[in-house]
Amino acid sequence: MTKSRQPNGASSIYLGKDGRWHGRVTVGTKDDGTPDRRHIGRKTRAEVTKAVRELERQRDAGSVRKAGQTWTVTTWLTHWVENIAALHVSENTIDGYRVAVYHHLIPGVGAHRLAKLEPEHLERFYKKMQDNGSSAGTAHQAHRTVRTALNEAVRRRHITINPATIAKAPRLEEEEVEPYSVEEVQRILLEAERHRNTARWVIALALGLRQGEALGLQWTDVDWEAGVIRVSRGRLRPRYKHGCGDRCGRKPGYCPQKINTRRETKETKSRAGKRPIGVPEELMKLLRRHKEEQDRERRLARDLWVEKGYVFTSPTGEPLNPNTDHHKWKDLLKAAGIREGRLHDARHTAGTVLLILGVPDVVVDAIMGWEPGKSARMRRRYQHLTSRVLQDTADRIGSLLWGSADTVNGGLSQGS
């Protein structure tokens, strides 16, 4: 073997006993403090010299992959979601990450070595997801998740390039806002009067609160004198564990002795989300009646009542489960004979009415809780309306200006 002695830390090139040329390049330090010295083997001296110089260039640019564990996509995503992301993001965000990681990404691309994952692997995976029935939105969520996870891998030098930033993301059609018409709102509110927590649905349609914001409201958030509701927190979806020692044979959420492992609410995610909202007097009256009805339920429940101060509760005082609330909305629409729609469509309806009535943009942003950087885009989406909604609004404005007193006092104002 021909090998020249080099100073400590310097690269070396030598001919080995195997007849091949070898190079050694120090690129940094390992976790235990010893030099991280990489080996390169080539057939000729010229080839190994070129490879050594390239590795030195990468070292000097800080783009050499870190020594240590050889990650697969599965091991990295699992480590990232449980040991990195889970410590720094909200409960709802980590839920979304876990669904993308465990239900889509790991089964789809998890067998690849992390350093060998290519943009084309991801693009084929996104297409396969949609071919198998996943929506474009679900595929896009998987893309955002893997992009975030691999950005962290780049920062930690486990890989040098994030293939997800190169891969073409699934095409995501912006959902069309389809607000309810004035007539549909009236029918929903009329049906809501026959159900518990009537004010829950009036708040959704009149003020546009998100589901979590409405279910997180507490009586201390209601300023009766000023006629204002202050939004400051959101209801979280419960997460359960077995209280039976996993003996019931059911999923944790169906365990007879289930234990909720998650806090009930969290602070709103942005400064714009924490906001006061002026409440029409009709809705304030409805909230007063709702409070009286809740006081009656408290007396009937006696020792079963759990006092937590929420505006909308179960018959025993517990905060409403978002999943239960979602199904109640579906039942309400069906009972009212209204077309199928998402609970979020109630928020769309409120935002649409504000914009059509010419409420200043800054006021609309404050009421809806839109962040400054997103508000213009959100307003553009809400202004894409059907002719029926535009005509309904024109009729209401006409009634306001030229109609009778009965007409003016009727319709949407009765419920909002």
- Cβ proximity of 350 and 177 under 8 Å: no
| Catalytic member of 22, 65, 328, 347 | 347
Q: Of 148, 208, 141, give the one whose Cα is nearest residue 343.
A: 208
Give the containing element (helix H, strand E) for 198.
Answer: helix 198-207
Q: Residue 233: beta bridge partners?
A: 267
Per the annotation, the verdict on 370 as an active-site residue is yes
Per the annotation, the verdict on 80 as an active-site residue is no
Query: Which ranges in 23-111 belong to alpha helices (H)?
Result: 45-61, 73-79, 91-98, 106-109
> Distance (Å, rounded) from C-alpha 297 to C-alpha 243?
28
| Catalytic member of 210, 233, 258, 396 | 210
Dihedral sign computed on CA atoms, order 351, 355, 358, 360: positive
Residue 392 has a CB neighbour count (10 Å cut-off) of 23
Q: Residue 313: beta bridge partners?
A: 319
Q: Of 67, 101, 66, 70, give the one whose Cα is nearest residue 83.
A: 101
Dihedral sign computed on CA atoms, order 55, 56, 60, 66: positive
Token duo for residue 325: 């609330």
| Catalytic member of 237, 241, 289, 334 | 241
Per the annotation, the verdict on 329 as an active-site residue is no
| Catalytic member of 124, 298, 344, 381 | 344
60's CB contacts (< 8 A; 6+ apart) are none
Residue 342 has a CB neighbour count (10 Å cut-off) of 15
Token duo for residue 359: 């409420």
| Catalytic member of 21, 97, 310, 382 | 382
> Distance (Å, rounded) from C-alpha 216 to C-alpha 265?
6
For the chain, the distance separating the N- and C-terminal CA atoms, rounded to the nearest angstrom, is 89
Give the containing element (helix H, strand E) for 45.
Answer: helix 45-61
> Distance (Å, rounded) from C-alpha 356 to C-alpha 335?
29
Per the annotation, the verdict on 180 as an active-site residue is no
Please identify every residue annotated as catalytic.
Answer: 210, 241, 344, 347, 370, 382
